[in-house]
Amino acid sequence: MDYKALAERLLPGEFPALSHFEEIYPPRALPEGAEVTRLAPSPTGFIHLGNLFAAIANERIAHRSGGILYLRIEDTDLKRKVDGAVEAVKNALRYFDIKFDEGAEIGGDNTYGPWYQRQRAEIYRAFVKHLIEEGRAYPCFCTEEELSALREEQTKNKQITGYYGKYAKCRNLSEEEIYRNLDAGKPFVIRLKSMGNPENKIRFHDEIKGDITVTENDQDVVILKSDGIPTYHFAHAIDDHFMRTTLVIRGEEWLASLPIHIELFDALGFQRPRYGHNCSLMKQDGDTRRKLSKRKDPELSLEFYRKEGYFARAVKIYMLTLLNSNFEEWYLKNPDAPLEEFKFTAAKMSKSGTLFDLDKLNDISKNELSKLSEEEMFAFLRGWAEEYGTPAQKNYFSDREKTLKVLSLCMGVGGKKRRKDFTTASQAMKFISIFFERTPREDEYRVGGETKRAILNGFLERYDPADDMQVWFSKVKEVAAENGFAAETKDYKANPENYKGSVADVAEVLRIATTGRANTPDLWTIQQILGGEETRARVQAALTAD
Ligand code: GLU
């Protein structure tokens, strides 16, 4: 067969010499040991914990070694492409402080771009043409129907499905048949002519899993689709070579494709990057462990963490705990250190499925949030509200001084005990909402009817916002005594039968009237922050509400 003529017929025209690409994408001038890693998402709009898991590992390894992390967009499959997906990837990763050095919409050095695979079609085609010329790739005219019939037959016979060996019908077409099909205008794809034998095992060193054995590829995979765009497998091999990637950390779901990738790198005459296949994140579901699922587990999506307002550092701490077996110990010793100081290594990465437990993350989150100063908390909550808050919530930040007071009171800053019950920004925002909005009542009055009204009226008659805490409280005691409640708790405890209740019950009525809640931080302070007018208006409104 005249492969050169066939290549010219299939991909006509002048292509740059392959050496041209070696020249324009020269080896990177980086110090010895510097790793070039990448994140290569498809622009599907769904960016998940697995991506973050890989991103943190790639970022740490690149930057700890003085290397480069770049962002490549694998957009060869148009059907899966979603508008705004690249922005979504970037925003999601920026939130977790993953810094790219180069790549799609990143700026930085563009020597190794373009970063969208669709913009690199010329490079891929040049290599496809070369493989055809060498007899390592061939046109396949099989239709979708033929391929699905083949799949069915193989499934029925309990054989491995795919286009290989005796099933690779077009692999053995004669020159004449090929040209007849081409003359008839039949659409075609280009397939790799695999030289592998599934009887052969290849020993492979995985940077995470260690030495493993994989089966040689014998699938004649599609490398160029009928629209002239390559498949992911082919494009990624070319790109990892010319972007001078040294190490690929990716999800273990790609392990199954590794034999294909090994054969492609060999066929192209490229040296492979090193690979590390990251374990999957599992979830305990009753008695079984299963992979986190897009359909069942909202926490798989990175969007979830931002919408809920998780503190990015907390999520990273938890991810690092799962990623590196020695992280937890380091973190216990260095709870406040920048996470970059941890010596992340691929060798310490978990080899098999790790359990992802939202409760553990929540504990870390509470702990980390309790370390923030009012100012830091202010910035964190405002950042969340700007993106996800209601218009009313955005307004919580217009009076800085007031909000700082609220945060100090609610977080226990400055006091002996820091509160550790906020997991997320959305939770904290709900907690502080009572200072900024008249929210619906959440708790029931335990004292109702006439007595409740008498307590509220008694309070309103005496209330003066200028009162200090002692005076304020003595007035509350007066209201208690006047309504048959013990002004002193100890009196109530000694003779409960003499009273309707104690001053604490009276304070609770006032608390619910002011905030809608039976449990709050100090009520005098709350009323001080709300101001006289608002306090009065709320208590007044509670007189007529149920
Ligand atoms: N585009 C693939 C993805 O969507 C990347 C696989 C790889 O990292 O090689 O995950």
pLDDT digits (tens, 9 = 90+) for 244-300: 999 999 999 999 999 999 999 999 999 999 999 999 999 999 999 999 999 999 999
Answer for the pair 245, 273: CB distance below 8 angstroms, yes or no.
yes
Closest atom, ligand 1, to C-alpha of 41: 4
pTM confidence score: 0.89
pLDDT in tens, 396-405: 999 999 999 9
The reported pLDDT for the residue numbered 417 is 76
Residue 144: Cβ-neighbour burial (10 angstroms; 0-12, 13-18, 19+): exposed
Closest atom, ligand 1, to C-alpha of 39: 8
Domains and CATH numbers, the chain: 3-15+121-278 (3.40.50.620), 283-289+297-369 (1.10.1160.10), 372-427 (no CATH), 449-544 (1.10.10.350)
**Percent helix / strand / coil, the chain, rounded to 5:** 50, 15, 35
Closest atom, ligand 1, to C-alpha of 257: 9
Q: Give the pocket of ligand 1 (CB within 6 Å).
A: 40-42, 74, 232, 236, 250, 254
Cα of 289 to ligand 1 centre, how many Å? 24
In whole angstroms, how far apart are CA 31 and each of 37, 39, 243?
15, 21, 16
Cα of 250 to ligand 1 centre, how many Å? 7
Cα of 294 to ligand 1 centre, how many Å? 17
**Residue owning the nearest CA to atom 10 of ligand 1:** 41
The reported pLDDT for the residue numbered 414 is 66
Q: Which residues neighbour 375 within 8 Å (Cβ) at sequence distance 6 or greater?
A: 404
Ligand 1 probe mutation, 71, 74, 275, 278, most atoms within 8 A of CB: 74
Q: What is the 3-state secondary structure (H, E, C) of 359-371?
A: HHHHHHHHHHHCC
Cα of 64 to ligand 1 centre, how many Å? 23
Q: Which residues neighbour 546 within 8 Å (Cβ) at sequence distance 6 or greater?
A: none
Closest atom, ligand 1, to C-alpha of 232: 1
Answer for the pair 497, 517: CB distance below 8 angstroms, yes or no.
no
Longest dimension (CA), the chain: 109
Ligand 1 probe mutation, 47, 58, 250, most atoms within 8 A of CB: 250
Closest atom, ligand 1, to C-alpha of 261: 9
Ligand 1 probe mutation, 81, 206, 232, most atoms within 8 A of CB: 232
pLDDT in tens, 127-167: 999 999 999 999 999 999 999 999 999 999 999 999 999 99
Q: Which residues neighbour 248 within 8 Å (Cβ) at sequence distance 6 or greater?
A: 37, 38, 240, 273, 274, 275, 276
pLDDT means per 10 residues in the chain (546 residues)? 97 96 97 97 90 95 97 91 88 92 93 96 97 98 97 96 96 97 98 97 95 97 96 97 98 95 98 95 92 93 96 96 93 96 91 90 95 94 97 97 94 77 94 96 95 98 98 98 96 96 97 97 97 98 89
For 94, the token pair is 């920026």
Cα of 75 to ligand 1 centre, how many Å? 10
Q: Which residues neighbour 181 within 8 Å (Cβ) at sequence distance 6 or greater?
A: 139, 141, 173, 188
Phi-psi domain of 448 (left: phi exceeds 0; alpha: psi -120 through 50; beta: other): beta
The reported pLDDT for the residue numbered 215 is 97
**Residue owning the nearest CA to atom 5 of ligand 1:** 40
Ligand 1 probe mutation, 36, 42, 46, 71, most atoms within 8 A of CB: 42
Any idea of the CA torsion for 292, 298, 302, 304, to the nearest 10 degrees?
-160
Matching residue, tokens 């509350």: 476
Q: Going along 261-387, which residue ranges are E strands? A: 274-278, 281-285, 288-291, 354-355
The reported pLDDT for the residue numbered 251 is 93
Q: How far apart are CA 187 and CA 225, in angstroms?
A: 10
Residue 290: Cβ-neighbour burial (10 angstroms; 0-12, 13-18, 19+): middle
For 421, the token pair is 């019950």
For 461, the token pair is 């008659």
Cα of 43 to ligand 1 centre, how many Å? 10
Q: Which residues neighbour 468 within 8 Å (Cβ) at sequence distance 6 or greater?
A: none
The reported pLDDT for the residue numbered 46 is 87
H or E segment to which residue 206 belongs: strand 201-206
The reported pLDDT for the residue numbered 420 is 86
H or E segment to which residue 321 belongs: helix 312-323
Terminus-to-terminus CA distance in the chain, angstroms?
91
The reported pLDDT for the residue numbered 415 is 67
For 357, the token pair is 């437990």
